[in-house]
């Protein structure tokens, strides 16, 4: 069974940066999957914020374009989300999964942007 574990969140001031990591275990085919980062703010639906294909083509939600960068390390079965110029609206729990969200959700990692 595939398991994902996210980490790297924390409390950061507006304008600050964070780097999130997502480690995938239990999948022998990680390298061929398109991977995605999602976030869910309190009282809001979960939204997809970034995707990366097997050949590292990336796509971003308009709200994070130019500030967030998704990358992957296939040998480590890890996906990263580098976040800069963070805003209070970026406050959410961040998750990774397939774009189809077919895997069980991991615990997520809390990102809080506040002064």
Average pLDDT for the chain: 96
Long-range CB pairs of 9-14, under 8 A, 24+ apart, other chains included? 9/93, 9/94, 9/109, 9/110, 9/111, 9/112, 10/110, 10/111, 10/112, 11/112, 11/114, 12/86, 12/111, 12/112, 12/113, 13/113, 13/114, 13/115, 14/86, 14/87, 14/88, 14/113, 14/114, 14/115
pLDDT digits (tens, 9 = 90+) for 61-97: 999 999 999 999 999 999 999 999 999 999 999 999 9
């Amino acid at each position: 069974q595939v398991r994902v574990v996210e980490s790297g969140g924390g409390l950061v001031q507006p304008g600050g940066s964070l780097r999130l990591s997502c480690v995938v275990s239990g999948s022998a085919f990680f390298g061929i999957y398109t991977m995605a980062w999602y976030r869910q703010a309190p009282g809001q639906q979960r939204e997809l914020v970034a995707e990366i294909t097997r050949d590292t083509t990336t796509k971003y939600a308009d709200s994070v374009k130019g500030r967030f960068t998704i990358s992957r390390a296939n040998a480590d079965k890890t996906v990263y989300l580098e976040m800069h110029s963070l805003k209070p609206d970026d406050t959410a729990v961040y998750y990774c999964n397939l774009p189809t969200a077919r895997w069980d959700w991991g615990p997520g990692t809390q990102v809080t942007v506040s002064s």
